[in-house]
Structure 1
């Protein structure tokens, strides 16, 4: 009975460790997801402002010759609006793809956590049944 009890304790400890690790990984994903959501909002706001700048443009002509400043570190570069719009759309699509991948990973980890919890409950229930017999 002692060997089976030691084996049960080892399995119990292993399941607990797996649960803690999974919870930590889920917790680590949440700030990453929040950062990507902020990046999406920033890219959307940039696209809206660039659309307004291209449509309203002061003075002289069509939207193709309008330019705006793009921040580069501590400096700014004067760039054509289509290039800035393409860069903002690129940032938005990259953030979308990364966010989708993180959501998929989070769902997988949550399922794994739930399975571990269920296995732990079953193990405790079996232990109770063995103790009462």
Structure 2
């Protein structure tokens, strides 16, 4: 069900950008980077390479595959956009290892991403929300 909702969201986002025709052939990294760029990016585009690297880093911290991380990022970005909070997919993916770092709390990324989203909803900037979550994790 979670994957289905993510696919539906990505389909909607790609339709908005006029990119629906090639969506099925794209990796998670290319889909997320293409949404950020508002245009179709190929797998070798620097933005896709950056996204793939960021997803790999997040995957190590979250202990889940890139699809799950991509689903979480897409859901949080959609929720924040509904509240007029602007954030890019790359910002969200790159902040995951920054927030969690070497803490003993690896593997619970959905909770940390939700904490980040709640702070952004309260008016925190991207860097302040990221640092606040990292501070909470380091203080536990």
Which structure has more strand as a fraction of its residues? 1
The two structures have a TM-score, normalised by structure 1, of 0.22
For the pair shown, the structure with the greater C-alpha radius of gyration is 1
The two structures have a TM-score, normalised by structure 2, of 0.21
